[in-house]
Homo-oligomer: A and B are copies of this chain.
Amino acid sequence: MLYIIGLGLGDERDITLRGLDVVRRCVKIYVEAYTSLLSFGLSSDGLSKMERLYGKTITIADREMVEEKADSILSEASESDIAFLVVGDPFGATTHSDLVVRARQLGLDVQVIHNASIMNAIGLCGLQLYRYGETVSIPFFTETWEPDSFYEKIKRNNQLGLHTLCLLDIRVKEPTMESLCSTFQSIAAYSGNSLCVGVARLGCEDQKIIAGSMEDLLEIDFGPPLHCLVIAGETHPVEEEMLNFYRIK
């Protein structure tokens, strides 16, 4: 059996009791290293805290490993219980559909244990989840590459009065604190006065949520990743009341 287990957003204590039960009875545990790892403290220290709490040795599986060694992971899962741990929810912002499809094509049982992801936890900012349009992913900009295909989606959501969740890409091998700022500057060129909510490390103890105009948010130091940005559409009074708690003073 292959178990795909969401770890939630904060740290090793955000696993569910159901998830922990499964981890403790699996013979081998992998954890993805290629998405969201920064928020989860998957440094060697974060990993050893997980290993102590879960009582298991955990193997980090980076993107290359999952792609190259999927056959051997799935072969193990055909003979014993294997857990694949995923930061957030297995089908949250990033998907693990490929691994699931391959497992099922081999006739393996796959069980998913859900957890929070950015896609639902963003509700904390006060804008109601059912009033979001299509989510956009914004890649890391470089001096020579500033893709803007996401902007049409933001504009369309805005025309429909819907909020837009913008997931900001991270450079796994070379994280920098400038990603949010450079992305904001590009979007601000389009919508400097739009009401936005900047969110850093959602679900972590040091999460930061600040609402204001895009231009005002440019001045804020949000600290380390992960970052996301919500561009508000039309807001209702109860949404406004929640946002007020996060507004730049």
- Expressed in whole angstroms, the Cα–Cα distance for A61 and B235 within the complex equals 29
On whether the beta carbons of B18 and A20 are closer than 8 Å, the reply is no
Number of copies: 2
On whether the beta carbons of B6 and A17 are closer than 8 Å, the reply is no
Interface residue total, chain A, C-beta cutoff 8 A? 56
Contact surface of A with B, Cβ cutoff 8 Å: 6, 8-10, 13-18, 20-21, 53, 89-93, 95, 97-98, 100-101, 104, 112, 114-117, 119-124, 126, 128-137, 156, 160, 162, 167, 203, 238-239, 241-242, 245
A116, chain B: closest CB distance, angstroms: 4
- Expressed in whole angstroms, the Cα–Cα distance for A27 and B117 within the complex equals 29
On whether the beta carbons of A101 and B238 are closer than 8 Å, the reply is yes
List 17 interface pairs A-B (beta carbons < 8 Å), by A numbering: A6-B116, A89-B123, A91-B123, A97-B128, A97-B239, A101-B245, A112-B124, A114-B120, A114-B203, A117-B120, A119-B119, A130-B137, A130-B167, A131-B134, A133-B134, A134-B160, A156-B160
A208, chain B: closest CB distance, angstroms: 14
On whether the beta carbons of A129 and B93 are closer than 8 Å, the reply is yes
Most B CB atoms within 10 A — which of A18, A137, A238?
A18
On whether the beta carbons of B160 and A114 are closer than 8 Å, the reply is no
On whether the beta carbons of A95 and B116 are closer than 8 Å, the reply is no
- Expressed in whole angstroms, the Cα–Cα distance for A91 and B115 within the complex equals 14
- Interchain CB contact (< 8 A) of A129 among B6, B15, B98, B135: B135
A121, chain B: closest CB distance, angstroms: 4
- Expressed in whole angstroms, the Cα–Cα distance for A229 and B91 within the complex equals 17
- Expressed in whole angstroms, the Cα–Cα distance for A128 and B96 within the complex equals 10
On whether the beta carbons of A245 and B104 are closer than 8 Å, the reply is yes
A120, chain B: closest CB distance, angstroms: 4
CB-CB under 8 A from A122, the residues of chain B are 91
- Expressed in whole angstroms, the Cα–Cα distance for A159 and B112 within the complex equals 32
- Interchain CB contact (< 8 A) of A121 among B53, B114, B135, B136: B114
Given contacts A8-B114, A89-B120, A238-B98, contact A13 B16 (CB under 8 A): yes
Name the CB-closest residue of B to A116: B114
On whether the beta carbons of A17 and B21 are closer than 8 Å, the reply is no
